[in-house]
């Protein structure tokens, strides 16, 4: 499909991302070990390649870093998909992770919306605040221009729930960006 290079520099974060919707190398360095693990899983299961380097104000907390990463990754996906001609557009995926079962459904429509129903039983996962999963997903959805619904059916471990959410997002994206025709998948003739 396509590639994108995004740079974002604020007083809180400094991010560079090289992104490709084709499979390839995945190199993630955010300074937050668990978040690196989640982004690697997301790109891997989506079949994307990415080199992301992020330096954030971690002396405050990880919030700005995680949210800004969502912004940049969303912008990159939107740019890489261009006019979205031929993509499947709609997709969903369930992912079990031990005792947890999570679900993602999405529409690469150009209309941003986010619904998140995944309570986290524990507040932290390493240096990652579990509530940041929702922050990342919202920033990603609104900057990618996608409608994104996610829920945890059940689970008792925040690590497992979070990982299943990132992986199910990756699997759904892989299907949604798959080229399945030559025209824009919309009765309006445009996805914007």
pLDDT value at residue 186: 53
Q: Collect all residues with Cβ–Cβ distance below 8 Å to 38 and sequence separation of at least 6.
A: 133, 162, 163, 166
pLDDT score at 63: 97
Q: How far apart are CA 52 and CA 5, in angstroms?
A: 10
The whole model's pTM is what? 0.94
Provide the CATH number for the domain formed by 3-176 in this structure: 3.30.230.40
Domain residue extents for the chain: 3-176
Query: Does 192 have pLDDT greater than 80?
Result: no
Nearest of 80, 118, 104, 79 to residue 166 by alpha carbon: 104
pLDDT (tens digit per residue) in 133-160: 999 999 999 999 999 999 999 999 999 9
More confident residue, 142 or 179: 142
> Rounded to whole angstroms, how far apart are CA atoms 83 and 41?
26
């Amino acid at each position: 499909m396509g590639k994108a290079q995004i740079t974002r520099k604020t007083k809180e974060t400094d991010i560079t991302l090289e992104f490709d919707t084709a499979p390839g190398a995945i190199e993630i360095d955010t300074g937050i070990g668990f978040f690196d693990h989640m982004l690697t899983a997301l790109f891997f299961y989506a079949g994307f390649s990415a080199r992301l380097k992020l330096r954030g104000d971690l002396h405050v907390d990880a919030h700005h870093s995680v949210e800004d990463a969502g912004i940049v990754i969303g912008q990159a996906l939107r740019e890489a998909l261009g006019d979205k001609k031929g993509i499947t557009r709609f997709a969903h995926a369930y992912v079990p992770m031990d005792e947890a079962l999570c679900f993602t459904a999405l529409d690469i429509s150009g209309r941003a919306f986010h619904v998140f129903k995944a309570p986290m039983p524990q507040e932290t996962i390493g240096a990652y605040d579990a509530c940041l999963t929702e922050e990342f997903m919202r920033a990603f959805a609104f900057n990618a221009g996608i409608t994104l619904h996610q829920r945890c059916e059940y689970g008792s471990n925040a690590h497992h729930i979070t990982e299943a959410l990132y992986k199910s997002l990756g699997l759904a994206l892989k299907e949604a960006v798959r080229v399945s025709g030559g025209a824009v998948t919309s009765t309006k003739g445009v996805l914007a």
